[in-house]
Amino acid sequence: MSRQWVTIRPSAIYLRLKVLSATRGMASESNFRAHMKSNMTASAKTNKVNDAFINSFRKKMLGWYDKHQRAMPWRATNKKDKNPYYTWLSEIMLQQTTVVTVGPYFEKFIAKWPTVHDLAKAERDDVMHEWAGLGYYARARNLHKCAQIVSEELNGVFPQDQKELEKLPGIGGYTSAAIRAIAFDKPANVVDGNIERVMSRIFAVTEPMPDSKKHLKELAGSLTKDRKDRSGDYAQALMDLGATICTPTSPKCALCPVIALCDAKKQGIEAELPKKQPKKAKPHKYGHVFWVENTKNEVLFIRRDEKEMLGGMLGLPTSTWEVDKKTLNKLPKAINQKRQVKHSFTHFDLTLDIFTVNFDTLKASGMILPLNNHVWLSRYTVDDVGLPTLFKKAVKLMQR
């Protein structure tokens, strides 16, 4: 595959084509639970959790984790093998993505860039290329920036303090807590979607999500606060319980180590929690995507502007994406619609009409301006270049 980069204004072709286009002091767990039952409401306070409950909960969770923890390529089986770089990398990759999807990407990254210094020295385009398919591409850009800061300004050492971690690109409250607990075994309130679900059930919180998020975080925090024993294992135990036992539908309560402490199970409402607000319909957007071929069976790709969706990634040229189809510019006859590609992003669904056009025709008719940030790729090998899923789908349709 040859890459021919041309040094002319990046938005030129885009623009042109657009024109064309619990209570303290309670002695026993059972006392605590009776108290919980009579008092727990959607606005339950965290001071209902007492030491006996916390000790029991954590002991059961850690005992279960020792036997049933999931094996993952970034997980250290003992303390001395902990690697903050692995923890950070995996946590960034796992945002909005599943463990199964992330596994091969993580392996690929650490094989190519074994340390944070190696990743910092990588070309950003290379990082974006290897990230392709994981989605949420701003994460990849921040990942690279963060690696450079940790490597160049912090001597390759990730901070242990959450506030310091959160000063780094791409690290928010959840990720800083996860890194502090998992990489450094320090107390932190790690609350992801799995842990929210477990908390909502243990405490039978009936207030719907997302309004209940703050309350669920407080409840999780009440079980973590001031506890210094096996912070990383405890956080990962909750994550694993949520992922494998306390699942969104049909939780496997018979296998659950904390069934005796679970209010939702006791009330028979475990499958109904966490309650959710009715979903709003996703907006649908429309646009054009252009398959521009030259006489060498090569197809035109451009690197997308950082501020756009899929920013920094290679893609086929597109029009803007609009909710009102009528606002899209009409295209001349030299451009033929061939197919349609559909893709669902988190916040909207997208339908793009695929138009084909010969580059020479465009040039001859003066419809195209000089190009920048573009590359011509063989239509037969374009699958290998690491495109975002939207453009992979369009390419597949056009290769048929």
Asked if residue 130 lies in contact with residue 112, where contact means CB atoms within 8 angstroms, the answer is yes
CA 300, distance to chain mean position in Å, is 29
Among 182, 262, 357, 385, binds ligand SF4 (CB under 6 A): 262
Give the residue with the Cβ less far from ligand SF4, 181 or 199: 199
Angle formed at CA 147 by CA 144 and CA 153, multiple of 5 degrees: 130
Q: Quick check: 240 binds ligand SF4 (CB under 6 A)? A: no
The encoded tokens of residue 377 equal: 């790729």
- Which range touches ligand SF4 (CB under 6 A), out of 103-111, 126-134, 249-257, 339-347? 249-257
Give the residue with the Cβ less far from ligand SF4, 40 or 350: 40
Count other C-beta atoms under 10 Å from residue 281's C-beta.
Answer: 6
Give the residue with the Cβ less far from ligand SF4, 220 or 309: 220
Q: Quick check: 139 binds ligand SF4 (CB under 6 A)? A: no
Per DSSP, helices labelled H in 225-367 are: 231-244, 263-267, 359-364
Among 132, 178, 235, 245, binds ligand SF4 (CB under 6 A): 245
Cα(309)–Cα(351) distance, integer angstroms: 14
Count other C-beta atoms under 10 Å from residue 7's C-beta.
Answer: 9
Catalytic residue IDs: 91
Angle formed at CA 315 by CA 314 and CA 317, multiple of 5 degrees: 130
Q: List 341's β-bridge partners, or say none.
A: 352
CA-nearest of 353, 324, 356, 328 to 339 is 353
Give the residue with the Cβ less far from ligand SF4, 128 or 223: 223
Q: List 286's β-bridge partners, or say none.
A: 322, 351
Among 135, 159, 187, 251, binds ligand SF4 (CB under 6 A): 251
Among 256, 309, 368, 398, binds ligand SF4 (CB under 6 A): 256
Q: Quick check: 246 binds ligand SF4 (CB under 6 A)? A: yes
Strands (E), the chain: 284-293, 298-303, 314-315, 336-344, 349-358, 374-378
Give the residue with the Cβ less far from ligand SF4, 60 or 186: 60
Among 16, 265, 285, 392, binds ligand SF4 (CB under 6 A): 265
The encoded tokens of residue 177 equal: 């807590």
Give the residue with the Cβ less far from ligand SF4, 59 or 342: 59
Cα(151)–Cα(115) distance, integer angstroms: 9
Q: Quick check: 302 binds ligand SF4 (CB under 6 A)? A: no
Asked if residue 63 lies in contact with residue 257, where contact means CB atoms within 8 angstroms, the answer is yes
CB of 255 to ligand SF4, least distance (A): 8
The encoded tokens of residue 67 equal: 């036997």
Among 149, 253, 334, 369, binds ligand SF4 (CB under 6 A): 253
Q: Quick check: 269 binds ligand SF4 (CB under 6 A)? A: no
- Which range touches ligand SF4 (CB under 6 A), out of 7-15, 171-179, 261-269, 283-291? 261-269
Q: Are strands 336-344 and 314-315 parallel, antiparallel or unpaired?
A: unpaired
CB of 266 to ligand SF4, least distance (A): 9
Among 61, 93, 168, 258, binds ligand SF4 (CB under 6 A): 258
Q: Quick check: 259 binds ligand SF4 (CB under 6 A)? A: yes
Binding residues for ligand SF4, total number by CB under 6 A? 14
Q: Quick check: 350 binds ligand SF4 (CB under 6 A)? A: no
Q: Which of residues 182-201 bind ligand SF4 (CB under 6 A)?
A: 198, 201
Q: Quick check: 48 binds ligand SF4 (CB under 6 A)? A: no
The encoded tokens of residue 133 equal: 């398919």
The encoded tokens of residue 349 equal: 């669904």
What does the binding site for ligand SF4 look like in residue numbers (CB under 6 A)? 198, 201-202, 245-246, 251, 253, 256, 258-259, 262, 264-265, 270
